[in-house]
Amino acid sequence: MKWNTGKTIHLTRPLLPSVDRMTERLQTIWQSGWITNNGSQHGQLERELRHYLGAEHIALFNNGTLALLLGLKALDLTGEIITTPFTFPATVQAIDWNGLTPVFCDIEPETLTIDPTKIEALVTEQTSAILAVHVYGNPCKVEEIQKIADKYGLKVIYDGAHTFGTKWEGRPIGNYGDMTMFSFHATKLFNTIEGGALVFKDGQLAGKLASLKNFGLSGPEEVVLSGLNAKLNEVQAAMGLEVLKLVKEERRKRAQVKQQYDRFLADIPGVRILTSLEGEQSSYQYYVIEIDEALFGASRNDVHEWLNEHAIMTRKYFSPLCSDFPWYAHLPSAQREELPQANRLVSRVLALPYYGELELDVAKAICEVIRQFQSTVSRAAQLRLEGELG
């Protein structure tokens, strides 16, 4: 099939409210003259998100990375943090910037989240927490992780950047562990352009986090902690309030795109769908496939290039592995032989274009481009084989 619409299919598109709705809110902000530092938009967004996420406590931040960084700081963690190499750099950079050491644990091949059966062997006297990631919105094995944490007295923090508003076994995903971070970056399902949040169990952390994101101030003339500036401003909060109204419909549309992909990718040899949760459990954040080179006949990189040549943008989420960052080369847990699944899967994953406005016939056409490629390469392999035999 020839791909000839002439337009580039992007990986994602931010959810945008109408300019008129935003203008209305901006007028309110302008009239108030209050543009950051816990304004009324911020207060309203905090209330709405606490409700939406089913959270006991919530704190908003100017991005997810600083939310996570300050969340770890608020928990007074020390020494080593057991985490996953298969994530966005921000997860482990939040560990770094707290002066803590990541200990990489391999992932399990079904969900690509941290493998709980490998965690216990990594616990030492220095371990203070487990930082796990709900990769692509696939929930971690939360019960098993909690069991290990309870046994060794460890905190559990989740990077939930991909799991906005999803439930797991009937409970909001942010109810698991001590703390969960959400990212509101433009590429995430819900966005405030840039932004993030922590939801947490211990209400005593609320004051501490409020201080940490505001230079460690506890009053106009009192500095009690080594904080940062990580406040969400009023324009970001206004954006959030308008975008939040659109999330339900966006999830509905993405569910349809997902159905289309599921249907037309199902029988392509060597393609496995890694984001298969449905309904309230699916985050509808990414649509990711695994390419098995032996079955498909070409590698993930080949598929990525082939799609790019057809103006279809894809991303190798998450490549490279965080354990391959040069400053971790000395860590025993970062060695490739210690992380066989992560190192196997990192060269096989591919995120496809995914957003509500993606037309269903375009989603179908993307599948057909992949199917064509697969049948071409497998036919070529067949002919080569026959040539060798003959």
Ligand X SMILES: *Cc1c(COP(=O)(O)O)cnc(C)c1O
Binding site residues, ligand X, CB under 6 A = 63-65, 87-88, 90-91, 133, 159, 161-162, 183, 185, 196
Shortest spacing between CB 14 and ligand X, in angstroms: 12
Structure tokens at 239: 């954006």
Rank residues 241 and 362 by Cβ distance to ligand X and give the closer one: 241
Rank residues 81 and 298 by Cβ distance to ligand X and give the closer one: 81
| Per-residue CA distances from 332 to 64, 117, 138, 139 (Å) | 28, 18, 27, 27
Rank residues 271 and 350 by Cβ distance to ligand X and give the closer one: 350
Rank residues 289 and 377 by Cβ distance to ligand X and give the closer one: 289
Shortest spacing between CB 138 and ligand X, in angstroms: 12
Rank residues 238 and 268 by Cβ distance to ligand X and give the closer one: 238
Shortest spacing between CB 368 and ligand X, in angstroms: 29
Rank residues 88 and 261 by Cβ distance to ligand X and give the closer one: 88
Rank residues 168 and 296 by Cβ distance to ligand X and give the closer one: 168
Question: Which residue sits closest to ligand X, CB atoms considered?
Answer: 64
Shortest spacing between CB 359 and ligand X, in angstroms: 26
Shortest spacing between CB 340 and ligand X, in angstroms: 22
Rank residues 46 and 159 by Cβ distance to ligand X and give the closer one: 159
User: Apex CA 233: angle with CA 230 and CA 236, to 5°?
Assistant: 110
Q: Are 370 and 268 in contact (CB under 8 A)?
A: yes
Shortest spacing between CB 124 and ligand X, in angstroms: 25
Shortest spacing between CB 18 and ligand X, in angstroms: 24
Shortest spacing between CB 2 and ligand X, in angstroms: 35
Rank residues 260 and 282 by Cβ distance to ligand X and give the closer one: 282
